[in-house]
Structure 1
Amino acid sequence: MLLILHAAVTWALVGLILTIQLVHYPLFARVGLSSWPTYEREHQTRITFLVGPLMLAELLSAAWLALRVPPALPSWSLGLGLALTLAIWMSTGLFQSPLHGRLSVAFDARLHRQLVVGNWIRTLAWLLRGGLCVWWLALSLK
Structure 2
Amino acid sequence: MLLVVHAALTWVLAGLILTIQIVHYPLFSRVGVAGYAAYQQEHIRRITWLVAPLMLAELVTGAALIFRPPPFLSAASISLGLALIVLIWLSTAFVQSPAHSRLTTGFDPVWHSRLVKTNWVRTLIWLVRSLLVGAWLLLGMS
TM-score, normalised via structure 2 length = 0.98
How many Å separate the matches in 1 of 2:80 and 2:122?
A: 15
SS of the equivalent of 2:70 reads coil
1:135 matched to 2:131? The reply is: no
1:92 maps to 92
Q: Which amino acid aligns with 1:39?
A: Y
Equivalent in the alignment of 1:64: 64
CA displacement, residues 19-44 of structure 1 (integer Å, 9 cap, x when unaligned): 00000000000000001011000100
Alpha-carbon displacement from aligned partner over 1:48-79 (angstroms, at most 9, x marks no partner): 00000000000000011123321011221111
CA distance, structure 1, for counterparts of residue 76 and residue 10 of structure 2: 18
Q: Matches of 1:67 and 1:119 in 2, distance apart? A: 31
Matched, 1:102 2:99: no
Q: What is the SS of the residue equivalent to 1:4?
A: helix
Residue 99 of structure 1, CA deviation: 0.7
CA deviation profile, 1:68-125 (whole Å, cap 9, x unmatched):
3210112211111000000000000001001100100011000000000000110010
Aligned-pair RMSD on alpha carbons? 0.6
| Cα distance in 1 between the residues matched to 2:63 and 2:8 | 16
Amino acid aligned to 1:24: H
- C-alpha distance in structure 1 between counterparts of 2:79 and 2:125, whole Å: 14
Query: Is structure 2 residue 31 aligned with structure 1 residue 2?
Result: no
Distance in structure 1 (CA, Å) of the matches to 2:39 and 2:67: 41
Instruction: Give every structure 1 segment of 4 or more consecutive aligned residues whose post-TM-superposition deviation is greater than 2 Å.
Output: none
In 1: Cα distance, 2:10 partner to 2:32 partner: 33
Aligned residues: 142
Runs of at least 5 residues in structure 1 that lack an aligned partner in the other structure = none
Percentage identity across paired residues of the two chains: 56
List alignment gaps of at least 5 residues for structure 2: none
Per the alignment, residue 14 of structure 1 pairs with 14
Counterpart residue number, 2:124: 124
